[in-house]
């Protein structure tokens, strides 16, 4: 078990880690209750020569200044702590590992393993002591990663904390009063600007009303003049429309007469064309009949021509037969003459 051998006053400088986290406080009777507390981790210079740095850890309630626990770990203290709890890091890396464990306690996520911060009171009465524990819980067991003895703050330390808080509140109050004064000055300036703007708006409104009345009167006169102009223009348009209507009607009547004359002429031309067409159809009918007669005559002539060609072919065949017969006879005659000459000799 670790017992701190040195204690440092809570530092007013910015800590290396400060966070509001859920603690589980367990008293000597085994009763446990959750509570949201702030834990500060700070590395400061040591007063004693053997130790160069001291790790300060403070647990406090922002709403309750009397709830304050603190401890200080020197390098010599850490050697005993390392030996008793089997820690693997040296003192230079110890603050970083403590901060990492605190962040794991804060950021649980969906990991079934859960890191808890415990403030556990061991013993009773004057022999009681408070231990700060960082415990990993899972379905198998509770694994304690770090155990530190942490003492309740003395009256002097609590007074210092209250003095710092009072000073901070005074500073905040001073800043707030200064801000209020600045805002009041700005408000006064804005009110003056608003009054000036209201006066200007009133002037503009009065001018606008006068301009509106003048514009309405002018608009009424303009409307009357425009109405008279429209009436005259409408009358002129009606007269012009009547005149143009008469001209258009006369023009269309003339066009209709011209179209009637053209239609009569087209009817006469159509009748003449019809007569010519009838005469042409009659002529074509006669020509068709003549063509039929000529075609029949042509067919007859073609038949006679075919018969004549057949007779000529037959006569040519007979002529060729006669020529062959004559040639044979001439050959026989030549042979007979030759034989006759031979016999005569």
If one compares 56 and 126, the residue with the highest pLDDT of the two is: 56
CA 73 – CA 5 distance, rounded (Å): 7
Task: Give all strands (DSSP E) within 80-170, no chain letters.
Answer: 114-122, 129-137, 142-149, 151-152
pLDDT in tens, 93-107: 999 999 999 998 888
213-263 residue pLDDT tens = 888 888 888 888 888 888 888 888 889 888 888 888 888 888 998 898 889
Q: Residues, the chain, total? A: 345
The span from the CA of 163 to the CA of 200, in Å, is: 54
Report the DSSP beta bridge partners of residue 77. Answer: none
Percent of the chain with pLDDT over 70: 91
Q: Comparing 154 with 109, which gets the higher pLDDT?
A: 154
Residue-wise pLDDT for 313-341, tens only, equals 889 888 898 888 898 888 888 888 888 88
In whole angstroms, what is the distance from residue 46 CA to residue 11 CA? 12
| 37, β-bridge pairs | 21
> Which residue bears the tokens 């062959």?
324
Nearest Cα residue to 133 out of 152, 109, 116 = 116
Supply the DSSP symbol for 9: P
Give the tens place of pLDDT for each residue, 140-197. 888 889 999 998 877 787 788 788 878 878 888 888 888 888 888 888 888 888 888 8
- Determine the pLDDT at residue 38: 92
Question: The pTM is what?
Answer: 0.47
41 pLDDT exceeds 90?
Answer: yes
Q: What is the pLDDT of residue 110?
A: 52
Tell me how far apart the alpha carbons of residues 133 and 295 are, in angstroms, rounded to a whole number: 136
């Amino acid at each position: 078990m670790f017992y701190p051998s040195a204690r440092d006053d809570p530092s007013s400088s910015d800590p290396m880690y400060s966070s509001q986290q859920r603690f589980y406080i367990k008293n000597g009777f085994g009763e446990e209750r959750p509570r949201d507390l702030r834990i500060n981790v700070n590395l400061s210079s040591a007063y004693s020569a053997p130790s160069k740095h001291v790790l300060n850890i403070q647990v406090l309630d922002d709403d309750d200044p009397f709830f304050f626990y603190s401890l200080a770990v020197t390098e010599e203290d850490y050697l005993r702590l390392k030996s008793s709890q089997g820690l693997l890091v040296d003192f230079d890396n110890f603050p970083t590992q403590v901060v990492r464990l605190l962040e794991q306690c804060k950021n649980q996520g969906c990991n079934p393993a859960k890191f808890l911060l415990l403030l556990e009171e061991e013993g009773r009465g004057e022999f009681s002591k408070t231990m700060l524990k960082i415990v990993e819980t899972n379905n198998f067991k509770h694994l304690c990663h770090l155990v530190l003895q942490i003492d309740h703050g003395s009256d002097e330390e609590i007074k210092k904390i209250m003095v710092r808080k009072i000073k901070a509140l005074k500073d905040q109050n001073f800043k707030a009063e200064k801000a209020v004064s600045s805002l009041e000055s700005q408000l006064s300036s804005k009110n003056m600007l608003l009054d000036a703007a209201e006066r200007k708006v009133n002037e503009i409104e009065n001018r606008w009303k006068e301009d509106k009345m003048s514009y309405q009167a002018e608009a009424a006169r303009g409307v009357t003049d425009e109405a008279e102009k429209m009436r005259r223009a409408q009358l002129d348009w009606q007269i012009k429309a009547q005149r143009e209507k008469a001209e258009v009607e006369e023009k269309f009547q003339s066009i209709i007469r011209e179209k009637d004359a053209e239609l009569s002429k087209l009817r006469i031309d159509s009748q003449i064309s019809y007569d010519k067409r009838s005469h042409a159809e009659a002529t074509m009918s006669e020509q068709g009949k003549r063509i039929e007669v000529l075609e029949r005559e042509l067919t007859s002539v073609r038949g006679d021509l075919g018969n004549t060609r057949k007779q000529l072919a037959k006569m040519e065949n007979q002529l060729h037969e006669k020529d062959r017969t004559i040639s044979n006879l001439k050959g026989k005659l030549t042979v007979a003459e030759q034989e006759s000459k031979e016999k005569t000799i």
